[in-house]
Amino acid sequence: MSSRPVPKPTARLSVAPPRQRDTTGRGAHLPVSHEVSAGGIAIHVVDGKANAAVIGRRNRHGKLEWCLPKGHLENEETAEEAAVREVAEEAGVHGEIIRALGVIDYWFTGDEHRVHKVVHHFLLETMSATITTEHDPDQEAEVAEWVPLHELPQRLAYPNERKIASIAAQLLTGQE
């Protein structure tokens, strides 16, 4: 890992995924839990073209959805440490952080509680082209693939992750 300083996030997105939004009002009386996760966009450049590591995991309805690798912070981990670990675990991609991309902040209602979730996203440079879900301890990621960066908006399932991908693309093409 280099000693390169990690800049502050460039964006803070506050969104509630439409399909998880509580429109019934039942969530107002549930206990609240807070979750913090981290992950990011791991980039591997081939012939001058950026490819990003994405994973496919099943949603609650059994449909495969493509998303960015991410997961909860463990013990005393920083968001940066968790992002590097989660990308390595879920996509088998080892990399180092180039910079912070942004934070996604949203609420959703589960069966027994409301969840306030904050996800820190980072741009990572990879050290190799190997990609695999073989080392995912939770076995949440079913498949991992390299996707050309410009195709992420069509591939990623969640609008908030598409926004993070757009920020990464702008940074990498010098359109900050």
Q: Model pTM?
A: 0.81
At the topology level of CATH, where does 12-21+30-172 sit?
Nucleoside Triphosphate Pyrophosphohydrolase (3.90.79)
- Per-residue pLDDT at 54 exceeds 70: yes
Cα-Cα-Cα-Cα torsion 156, 161, 162, 165, nearest 10 degrees, comes to -110
Higher model confidence: residue 169 or residue 11? 169
**1: confidence class by pLDDT, cuts 50, 70, 90:** very low
- Per-residue pLDDT at 121 exceeds 80: yes
Give residue 108's Cα distance to chain centre: 17
Enumerate the β-bridge partners of residue 72.
Answer: 37
Please, are residues 119 and 37 in contact by the beta-carbon 8 Å criterion?
Answer: yes
The predicted structure's pLDDT at residue 12: 53
Q: How far apart are CA 141 and CA 107, in angstroms?
A: 23
- Per-residue pLDDT at 170 exceeds 70: yes
**Cβ burial, residue 55 (10 Å; 0-12/13-18/19+):** buried
Annotated domain spans of the chain: 12-21+30-172
User: Residue 105 CB: number of other CB atoms within 10 A?
Assistant: 16
Q: How far apart are CA 43 and CA 65, in angstroms?
A: 20
Enumerate the β-bridge partners of residue 33.
Answer: 115
Q: How far apart are CA 53 and CA 43, in angstroms?
A: 7
Handedness of CA 59, 62, 66, 69 (dihedral sign): positive
3-state secondary structure of 172: helix
The predicted structure's pLDDT at residue 20: 45
- Per-residue pLDDT at 162 exceeds 90: yes
